[in-house]
Amino acid sequence: MYFSCGLIWRHNMHNKFKYTTAIARGIAKSLPAEAQRMDHTAEFVSYEKAKSQLQSYVDILQEKLGLKVIQLPADDALPDCAFVEDVAVVIDDTALITKPGHVNRIGEMKEMESCLKSLRMNVVNMAEIDPFATVDGGDVLFTGEEIFVGVGNRSNMAGYKVICDTFPSYAVHAVEVEDALHLKTACSLAKPGVIMISDETPEIQKMIKSLQAVATSNYRYIHVQGNAIGSNCLFIDSEKLGPVTVHPSSKAFPSIKSSYDAIGGVTLIECDISELSKVDGALSCCFVLLSI
Ligand code: GLY
């Protein structure tokens, strides 16, 4: 069963992704041993390599795209704290501080909330609205026109309802997540009107079909072969380079290049965060983006 709420409203999509500022957080020393992961047989994770890959990613946003990057300090008591996307959903000038769906991640919101308040965002705290609601930002796909919320693994229906109430000018659709950490483990916005999608497993194919069935706008869907996380990219309409899609490195995911080449009309930048992907970190996980 699927749920949708909110208005179908024509938004000016192109203004929605003109981000000027990104919030990132350092890598906890505890990440290699203690960060959550779906595949517990995954190989050794190097703290140094993860740190240097995140720094290279920060450099892309800061140097190439001209964004201001605010780097919050890591907290070694919070192994997954680098994945800031999960603790805040920012759309227009409203920032919803979420409550992540894994108990080990609950302490991560405080630092983000203080930062967003200091930036004078309109901050809403999910836990104060409904203590039973959970949402990981990785489950929230915002296309500029509507919002899809992956429900079933980390995020629940109470969390979906808080998203509906917090962003009332957008249609919000619940999509069942199965066999994936998050909705955006297997799909992401490549640019307004274009969504990258994975078909790695039958469960992921079902999830993507559900998303397509509830979507109220017409999108071009581009398949990405291989590991689902290869479909996770980051779109920014930057002041310096115009529309840019930062996508996984084709060295780490050899089958993806032709899919990203098919987007058209964007500058493509490859970014290797393969060390973070061993603990299910994807490109969108590493930043909260703001237009301020
Ligand atoms: N390692 C990311 C997460 O499981 O939340």
Residue ID of nearest Cα to ligand 1 atom 1: 36
Catalytic residue flag (residue 115): no
CATH of the domain at 238: 3.75.10.10
pLDDT over threshold 70, residue 164: yes
What is the number of structural domains in the chain?
1
Residue 270, domain extent: 2-290
Kindly report, residue by residue over 204-257, the tens digit of the pLDDT: 999 999 999 999 999 999 999 999 999 999 999 999 999 999 999 998 888 999
CA distances from 162 to 9, 159, 210 (A): 19, 5, 21
C-beta 145 within 6 A of ligand 1: no
Q: Whose C-alpha lies nearest to ligand 1, atom 5? A: 36
Q: Is the CB of 35 under 6 A from ligand 1?
A: yes
Whether 43 has a pLDDT exceeding 90, the answer reads no
Ligand 1 centroid to residue 77 C-alpha, Å: 14
- Which pLDDT belongs to residue 254? 87
Residue 2 pLDDT level (bands cut at 50, 70, 90)? low
What letter would DSSP give residue 97? E
On the question of pLDDT at 1 being above 90, the answer is no
How would residue 5 be classed by pLDDT, with cut points 50, 70 and 90? confident
Is it the case that residue 48 has pLDDT exceeding 80?
Answer: yes
